[in-house]
């Protein structure tokens, strides 16, 4: 990573503006249901505290669209961090302003402050120089540990480092190091596994991976667009009609480059995506006209498992079926276990649904890396420049 590391930034006795991504899922009852993103930043925060820094946390929660939304205040997030950190976290009621300036001025080395939800300010999404300067004025240096937000050109992500010495925190540094390895020096065979609903979300990713991988395994709803492009009848399964030509072009490009596109050979079908609804497995040549494909079948699981067992680099994004319905999660679970069982490979997963399945199965420690990012994970693998990373000072 050609960006300055927190290790190479003088943070001793400094006020440090630390951008984190604590956009965590919260239940209807108001409980944080997954604190992974908070936990992953603890090494960076502890390092700063060990160096007698004042830590000023900047994050967002949800999509308040520039307005104050009471349910999206950060009090419960600050409480969770305080519990995990084992020390008080002072949550402020504003992002900028006299009360914030005063609180920061009176903070002592080792204090942790959390600003209010930065997306309560409309200028967060506009790249406002005025807001960037106001945030920068609170601190001596800036550290970015918010990989999941690195693809956003938001003010607190890409704007603030224009006005302060900046560096990457341990989480951001690790995320980039792993993905850099995947994209530039992956051991072969290199297998990518892509699922989820839409081909349109991953066109650029697939095209970029065609030049780097030995095989791309495609499941989930997006597989049916490819199957239809190949001439199969897919019933009422999800198909992006506008992308049939693109799917066909990808298949032809894969042949020309010698990269195998591996699609399902059997699928689970049902008449309605509903818990408890009757379902059965059919070969892809036999999908009934009045049925919907909702998961990969056992022969496909076997084929995908074989591909992963021989791989030395594996990246995975997206479920193989409709995982909101328990009956249609078997393909995704089987794939997660197959990837986790390959102890020789660099196994990397990303995306919220993918990470949730891995967590639910207790396989976190069996993957070499589970990214905290969704969009940032995909855009990095697509070969795009991420504004949050580009804004950080280069290594000396």
Residues carrying an active site annotation: 37, 198, 352, 375
* CA nearest to 228, candidates 202, 199, 204: 199
Contact 203, 246 (CB under 8 A): yes
State the angle between helix axes of 375-382 and 170-184 in degrees (0 to 180), rounded to the nearest 10.
40
Long-range contacts for 365-372 (Cβ within 8 Å, ≥24 apart)? Answer: 366/340, 366/341, 367/339, 367/340, 368/178, 369/174, 369/175, 369/178, 371/147, 371/175, 371/178, 371/179, 372/21, 372/36, 372/37, 372/40, 372/147, 372/148, 372/171, 372/175
* CA nearest to 190, candidates 202, 199, 177, 181: 181
What is the number of other CB atoms lying within 10 angstroms of the CB of residue 259?
20
Secondary structure E strands in 149-241: 166-168, 190-194, 215-218
Distance in angstroms (rounded) separating the CA atoms of residues 384 and 264: 29
No. of H helices and E strands in the chain? Answer: 14, 15
Contact 56, 62 (CB under 8 A): no
């Amino acid at each position: 990573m050609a960006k300055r590391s927190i290790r190479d930034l003088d943070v001793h006795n400094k006020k440090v503006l630390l951008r984190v991504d604590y956009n965590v899922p919260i239940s209807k009852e108001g409980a944080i249901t997954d604190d992974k993103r908070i936990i992953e930043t603890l090494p960076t925060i502890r390092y700063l505290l060990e160096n007698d820094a004042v830590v000023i946390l900047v994050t967002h929660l949800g999509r308040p669209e520039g307005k104050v939304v009471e349910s999206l205040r950060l009090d419960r997030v600050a409480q969770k961090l305080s519990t995990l950190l084992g020390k008080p976290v002072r949550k402020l009621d504003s992002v900028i302003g006299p009360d914030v300036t005063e609180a920061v001025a009176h903070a002592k080395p080792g204090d942790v402050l959390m600003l209010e939800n930065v997306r309560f300010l409309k200028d967060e999404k506009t790249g406002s120089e005025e807001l960037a300067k106001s945030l920068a004025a609170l601190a001596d240096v800036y550290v970015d540990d918010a990989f999941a937000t690195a693809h956003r050109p938001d003010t607190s992500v890409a704007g603030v480092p224009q006005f302060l010495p900046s560096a990457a925190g341990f989480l951001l540094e690790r995320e980039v190091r792993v993905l850099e390895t995947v994209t530039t020096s992956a051991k072969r065979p290199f297998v990518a596994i892509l699922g989820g609903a839409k081909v349109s979300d991953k066109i650029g990713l697939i095209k970029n991976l065609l030049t780097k991988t030995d095989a791309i395994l495609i499941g989930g709803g997006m597989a049916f667009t490819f199957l239809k492009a190949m001439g199969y009848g897919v019933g009422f399964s999800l198909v992006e009609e506008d992308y049939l030509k693109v799917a066909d072009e990808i298949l032809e490009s894969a042949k020309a480059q010698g990269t195998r596109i591996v699609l399902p050979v059997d699928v689970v079908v049902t008449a309605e995506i509903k818990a408890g609804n009757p379902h059965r497995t059919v070969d892809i040549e036999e999908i009934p006209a009045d049925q919907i494909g909702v998961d990969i079948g056992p022969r496909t699981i076997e084929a995908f498992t074989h591909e992963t067992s021989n791989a030395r680099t594996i990246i995975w994004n997206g479920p193989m079926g409709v995982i909101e319905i328990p009956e249609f999660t078997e393909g995704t679970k089987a794939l997660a276990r197959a990837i986790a069982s390959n102890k020789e490979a660099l196994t990397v997963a990303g995306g919220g649904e993918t990470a949730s399945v891995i967590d639910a199965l207790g396989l976190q420690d069996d993957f070499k890396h589970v990214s905290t990012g969704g969009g940032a994970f995909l855009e990095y693998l697509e070969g795009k420049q991420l504004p949050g990373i580009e804004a950080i000072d280069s290594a000396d």
